[in-house]
Amino acid sequence: MVPLSYYLVLSGILFACGVAGFLIKRNIITIFMSIELMLNGVNLSFVAFAAHWHVLAGQIFVFFVMVVAAAEAAVGLAIIIAVYRTRETLNVDQVNLLKL
């Protein structure tokens, strides 16, 4: 049996990669993928805990997260397409019309 800590470390690494990608990358699609990475990092820790404590609630949470992530992906991609059509760029630093 693989110890719980392994899962958690992997989950932490996944999350950290997501955060780093989110902070560093300028391409809005990459940022979007980083967000998915963070969500999946969290999902991993949920299922790991669920298996470790034999509690189903963790797995149910994961389903919720997946549904929300799917919805978010749909809306987010729609927004990205809309932005690209008007601004003709995917660089977030140039999508700054609301900036002071």
Q: Does 27 bind another protein (CB under 8 A)?
A: no
In the region spanning residues 31 to 60, those forming contacts with another protein, defined by CB under 8 A, are 31
Q: Which residues contact 27 (CB under 8 A, 6 or more apart)?
A: 90, 91, 92
Q: Does 23 bind another protein (CB under 8 A)?
A: yes
Q: Does 5 bind another protein (CB under 8 A)?
A: no
Binding interface with another protein (CB under 8 A): 19, 22-23, 26, 31, 92-93, 95-100
